[in-house]
């Protein structure tokens, strides 16, 4: 039976960062595991060294039956975006963390960090970062050589996030340690060490939008405005979708992107995918994304073609069907995750009937809201009501999901 393995965090200053007890455990061990850079801190180690390269699965297989005293070394706090979480879930381990790079960076700044929003773009896509961090007062980011501070600055500037300044801490506790403040345009031009942490601090209030963004705020196709899902219908439809913070959402027939953009703000930790058949509308969608700081995936295509490139969704909004209603609804019903919802807006009685019939054939139950909304408009010192086009809001769920 294998004995408990010790997982010890270490700083970039190598052996100097270790407590005497940790140094003793390493000296008494017969197997030392870690990345090449970390193992280089121990050139005189007499036991067996196992270098971690690529995935951790092979390392787990090697360690599961290990009976010799073993120490695994990891950078900083192994349980903070490190390998510790995976290793300790597979092997019986005692974990002894060092300071995380985030802690050390905030110490360099001389500021508290319990109120910071923490996010990693190390080995991960920056997709969706805009809506995740928008409005946050303090954001700490773990970067890598590809998602470098200058690439991060370029990304943030593309969404107009100029209210942030950045503190970059490089090679913390290493020989080439360096840190300092930068405006985003400065950070974009400078090259940094791959070993760095970026902390964004808001220096002024940025723009903000509450649920139900005014229709006029969106870039729309001219001269025939009016294809946008109107504010009131949008809010009712978003409520019907029952989104969570981490929902994966499809917006089919996105047009200006108004539904996808508001969905991205509600599901800021999730993923939003949109499809639109008219290229001029899609260009407006891209403009609106930048304005409203939502980084969604929007593609040109006529659904259901193109939907195969999207992951299975928790929620689907269908704002336009392009004449392929039965096939589109059938595809969406098959792809929807368990417990999910599909919301379809129909402007005509015929489309209401066809949609309801298609959902029934797919084994879905529907509930329908007929929304007939009017807005007040001044006239000769008085007010009258101007009606919007009535819309049928159809919410569809699998019958077996109804009681969940």
Q: What are the pLDDT digits (tens) for 166-205?
A: 999 999 998 899 999 999 999 999 999 999 999 999 999 9
| Total residues belonging to the chain | 404
* 3-state class (DSSP) for residue 132: helix
pLDDT tens, position by position, 116-151: 999 999 999 999 999 999 999 999 999 999 999 999
Q: What is the mean pLDDT of residues 347-358?
A: 94
**What confidence tier does 223 reach under pLDDT thresholds 50, 70, 90?**
low
Q: How confident is the model at residue 274 (pLDDT cuts 50, 70, 90)?
A: very high
d(CA 120, CA 76): 15
CA proximity to 26, closest of 9, 13, 12 = 9
Cα 328 to Cα 358: distance, rounded to the nearest angstrom: 9
What is the number of other CB atoms lying within 10 angstroms of the CB of residue 122?
15
pLDDT, tens digit, for every residue of 3-34? Answer: 679 999 999 899 999 999 999 999 999 999 99
**Complete DSSP assignment for 300-333:** E--TTTTGGGSPPPSEEEES--TT-HHHHHHHHH
User: Above pLDDT 70, what percent of the chain?
Assistant: 97
Contact criterion met (CB below 8 Å) for 200 and 141 = yes
Please identify, in words, the CATH class of the domain defined by 5-99.
alpha beta
5-99 and 102-202 have identical folds? no
Q: Give the span between the Cα atoms of 246 and 311, in whole angstroms.
A: 13
102-202 CATH = 3.30.950.10
| CA–CA gap between residue 9 and residue 102 (Å, rounded) | 14
Q: Name the residue among 108, 129, 134, 125 with its Cα closest to residue 197.
A: 108
The phi and psi torsions of 167 (rounded to 5 degrees) equal -110, 120
Tens of pLDDT, residues 253-266 = 999 999 999 999 99
Residue ranges covered by each domain of the chain: 5-99, 102-202, 215-401
Give me 268's structure tokens.
Answer: 């800021």
Q: Encoding tokens for residue 207?
A: 């723009």
Q: Which pairing describes strands 382-387 and 374-379: parallel, antiparallel, or unpaired?
A: antiparallel
Q: Which long-range contacts (CB under 8 A, 24 or more apart) does 325-330 make?
A: 325/351, 325/354, 325/355, 325/358, 326/354, 326/358, 328/252, 328/303, 328/304, 329/355, 329/358, 329/359, 329/362, 330/358, 330/361, 330/362
d(CA 102, CA 174): 15
Q: Which CATH number fits domain 215-401: 3.30.470.20, 3.40.50.150, 3.20.20.70, 3.20.20.80?
A: 3.40.50.150
Beta bridge partners of 378: 383
Cβ neighbours for 16, distance < 8 A, ≥ 6 positions apart:
none
What's the confidence (pLDDT) of residue 1?
41
Q: Which residue has the tokens 């802690």?
A: 103
> pTM (2 decimals)?
0.89
- Report d(CA 177, CA 237) in Å as an integer: 52
Contacts of 309 (CB under 8 A, 6+ apart): 299
């Amino acid at each position: 039976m294998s004995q408990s393995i010790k997982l010890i965090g270490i700083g970039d200053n190598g052996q100097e960062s270790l407590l005497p007890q940790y140094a003793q455990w390493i000296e008494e061990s017969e197997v030392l595991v870690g990345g090449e850079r970390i193992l280089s801190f121990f050139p005189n180690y007499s036991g067996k060294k196992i270098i971690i390269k690529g995935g951790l699965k092979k390392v787990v297989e090697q360690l599961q039956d290990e009976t010799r005293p073993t120490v695994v070394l990891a950078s900083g706090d192994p349980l903070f975006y490190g390998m510790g979480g995976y290793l300790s879930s597979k092997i019986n381990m005692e974990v002894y963390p060092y300071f995380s790079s985030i802690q050390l960076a905030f110490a360099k700044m001389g500021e508290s960090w319990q109120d910071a929003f923490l996010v990693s773009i190390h080995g991960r896509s920056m997709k969706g970062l805009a809506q995740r961090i928008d409005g946050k007062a303090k954001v700490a980011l773990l970067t890598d050589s590809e998602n470098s501070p200058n690439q991060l600055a370029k990304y943030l500037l593309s969404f107009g996030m100029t209210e942030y300044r950045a503190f970059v801490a490089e090679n913390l506790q290493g020989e080439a340690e360096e840190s300092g403040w930068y405006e985003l345009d400065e950070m974009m031009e400078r090259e940094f060490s791959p070993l760095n942490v970026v902390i964004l601090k808001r220096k002024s209030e940025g723009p903000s939008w509450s649920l139900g963004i005014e229709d006029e705020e969106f870039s729309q196709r001219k001269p025939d405005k009016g294809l946008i899902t109107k504010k009131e219908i949008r809010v009712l439809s978003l409520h019907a979708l029952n989104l969570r913070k981490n929902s994966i959402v499809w917006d089919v027939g996105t047009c200006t992107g108004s539904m996808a953009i508001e969905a991205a703000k509600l599901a800021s930790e999730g993923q939003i995918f949109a499809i639109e058949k008219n290229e001029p509308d899609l260009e407006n969608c891209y403009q609106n994304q930048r304005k409203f700081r939502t980084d969604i995936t929007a593609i040109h295509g006529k659904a259901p073609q193109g939907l195969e490139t999207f992951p299975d969704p928790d929620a689907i909004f269908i704002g336009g069907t392009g004449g392929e209603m039965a096939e589109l609804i059938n595809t969406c019903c098959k792809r929807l995750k368990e417990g999910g919802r599909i919301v379809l807006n129909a402007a005509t009685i015929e489309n209401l009937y066809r949609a309801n019939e298609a959902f029934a054939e797919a084994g879905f139950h529907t509930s329908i809201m007929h929304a007939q909304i009017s807005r007040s408009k001044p006239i000769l010192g008085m007010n009258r009501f101007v009606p919007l086009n009535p819309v049928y809001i159809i919410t569809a769920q699998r019958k077996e999901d109804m009681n969940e």
